[in-house]
Amino acid sequence: MLPPHSLLPSRMLIRSLLVAGITSHPMLLAPGLSILNFLSQPRGPLFNIERNPILHTILKSLLYNHFCAGENASEVKATIQNIKSMGFRGVILTYAKETSGKTSNERVLSNDESQSVDAEIMAWHQGVLQTVKMIGDGDFLALKLTGAGEAVTTALSLAKPLPKQMENALLDICDEAISRHVNVFLDAEQHHVQPGIDKVALYLMRRYNRGGVAVVFNTYQGYLKSTPRIILDHLHNAREEQFVIGIKLVRGAYMSTEPRHLIHDTKEETDISYDSIAEGLIQGQYANWTQDEAFSSPKLELFLATHNRPSTIKAQKLQNFRMHAQLPLIRIQYGQLLGMADEVSLTLLQLNKEDTSGKPFAATEVYKCLTWGTLNDCIFYLLRRANENKDAVTRTLAEYKALKREALRRMTNIFSS
Ligand SMILES: Cc1cc2nc3c(=O)[nH]c(=O)nc-3n(C[C@H](O)[C@H](O)[C@H](O)COP(=O)(O)OP(=O)(O)OC[C@H]3O[C@@H](n4cnc5c(N)ncnc54)[C@H](O)[C@@H]3O)c2cc1C
């Protein structure tokens, strides 16, 4: 059996090797991060990434192309084609440009203003429509609701109804997604806006997840102590109101800014919470539900968005076990960010090629999550990815070693043939 990285085209392998070489080396990563930080601030023509063509080319060919999908529709479509040709089921696409996300009490509460056109919502709506038009059958569109600006963020943080313009924009986007056979993720954000996002997600799931499949998925953060209870509430809603519940499970990305007491005390506790939520959902025995209740549990689809290899392998093993035992199955899909955790994505893809000696096996559906936008739009996204690699040193180093082994294997093959 060939190693998972054998699935990478040579160009991607070389670029990944370069990026992993820098990000797995603290002596190289620290100055790299400082340079990126410096370039992310508005600068004169010499250090402006959009105006200095040499700087633009270097950043684009090394960092941007590794982590981002493209600056326009034709670049994005080429990246998607490339990803799908490697065996991925599809992509999750998101638009990098974000508005302030600040809150302001006066703005959302003013009736007059709710009648007028909000420029931030309009810009977000247009950006998202442009995004959904770049994807198709089986892909996902990821929506970050606070990206629609102050009025929306304030409504979400007060768990008030969204401005009518935003509600219409969401319905328009979901209709367009459905017409293209695209599914929709509502991303999870900070805890102060999350109850508002949950309300919007339930409203959309109730409306669109009626035909026996999940079109809209809500995101649940395993690091929050409150998540198992919230999932249980939403499962009850889905069962009572007879809609399919789409659950995207993540660990959570806002640890540095959230009140610490809301989050599990240790990484191990977050890991246990994440895995036990996934296991409970796969087995139809969530929380304290009895086996009887599990039989009437709502139809659900699970999307495991994680770079954690043990979590993905455990879920897929359980799915395989249930398939062999002819137990009821739910649909499980997996996703990782472009340019990150390729070892996890490619190992999952390879499970589809394993020799199972004639036994039935549960096929894995794996996605890469892509962000698109100009280099300038994506600079903060790139900074976050570089920082995340710094925090996941062990994984980055393991990825670098695996890439080196694969490069060596290919060179040996060339010289020995
Ligand atoms: C496709 C995709 C979509 C995503 N969408 C979202 C989204 O909508 N909203 C969102 O919030 N995040 C999202 N994320 C990010 C995700 O929440 C994680 O931050 C990131 O994936 C790292 O976690 P991991 O599961 O990959 O595994 P790991 O790298 O094994 O876990 C790291 C995570 O563990 C948790 N953790 C770390 N240290 C501690 C500690 N001391 N105590 C308690 N917990 C700790 C944190 O959540 C940290 O991010 C997404 C990730 C992917 C791949």
* pLDDT band per the 50, 70, 90 thresholds, residue 84: very high
The predicted-structure confidence for 213-272, as pLDDT tens digits, reads as follows 999 999 999 999 999 999 999 999 999 999 999 999 999 999 999 999 999 999 999 999
* The two structure tokens encoding residue 65: 């192309």
pLDDT greater at residue 65 or residue 287: 65
Phi, then psi, of 117 in degrees rounded to 5: -85, 130
All domains of the chain, ordered by start, with CATH? 70-391 (3.20.20.220)
Q: What is the mean pLDDT of the chain?
A: 90
Please say whether the dihedral angle defined by the alpha carbons of residues 249, 254, 259 and 264, taken in this order, is positive or negative.
positive
Distance, in Å, from the CA atom of 91 to the CA atom of 86, rounded to the nearest integer, reads: 12
Instruction: Kindly state if the Cβ of 340 falls inside 6 Å of ligand 1.
Output: no
Ligand 1 atom closest to residue 263's alpha carbon, by position in its atom list: 43
* pLDDT band per the 50, 70, 90 thresholds, residue 109: very low
Please determine, for residue 105, whether its predicted confidence score (pLDDT) is greater than 60: no
Instruction: Kindly state if the Cβ of 307 falls inside 6 Å of ligand 1.
Output: yes
- Output the CA 285–ligand 1 centroid distance in Å: 24
The predicted-structure confidence for 324-350, as pLDDT tens digits, reads as follows 999 999 999 999 999 999 999 999 999
The predicted-structure confidence for 3-13, as pLDDT tens digits, reads as follows 999 999 999 99
- Output the CA 308–ligand 1 centroid distance in Å: 9
- Output the CA 179–ligand 1 centroid distance in Å: 31
Q: Average pLDDT, stretch 347-371? A: 82
Distance, in Å, from the CA atom of 216 to the CA atom of 156, rounded to the nearest integer, reads: 18
Q: Is residue 135 a contact partner of residue 143, using CB atoms and an 8 Å limit?
A: no
